[in-house]
Amino acid sequence: MKQGFVLVLVGLTSAAACVAGTRGLGLSWRSLGAALARMFEAIGLGVVFFAINLLVAAAAILTARTLGPRFVSLYLADDVTVIALSVLQGLVFQAWRESPRADQPSG
């Protein structure tokens, strides 16, 4: 019941956004495919950031556990905010990549 509701809700708002995009903003269906590809790319970058965050956290925790006087739990890195922040890292990095490059010498 709940999962059906969520799917219908997101489906309806997505359909409304498509109508608003094509009729209101004059966007093309073709560019929607490219936008989806860019979204997957940004999420993929988020996955890469997540893996790096986990590896760095594990290395730091195991080092602290070995060298420090107190026990440090690996569960310190088991927090849902790591996932959310990793996705944000990916989105920002993607936007940065797509921004105009650094000043280039003019002709």
Partner 1 sequence: MISAPAPRLRLCTLLGALAVATLVVSGFTPAPNLVGEWLAAPPSVARADAIVVLGAGGAVWGDGMLGNLSMRRALRGIVLQREGLAPLLVFSGSDAEVDQRSRLARELGVMPVRILAGGGSNTTRDEATRLRALLSPRGVRKVLLVTDSHHMIRARRLFERAGFDVFAAPADDVSTTARTPEERLQLARAICGEVLARLYYRIAGYL
| Binding interface with partner 1 (CB under 8 A) | 2-3, 6-7, 37, 39-48, 71, 73-75, 78, 80, 97-98, 100-101, 104, 106-107
Q: What's the rounded Cα separation, in Å, for the pair 34 and 49? A: 23
Report the first-to-last Cα separation within the chain, whole angstroms: 63
Shortest distance (Å) from residue 18 CB to partner 1: 18
Closest CB to partner 1 among residues 29, 71 = 71
- Closest C-alpha to 49, from 10, 89, 20: 89
Shortest distance (Å) from residue 75 CB to partner 1: 5
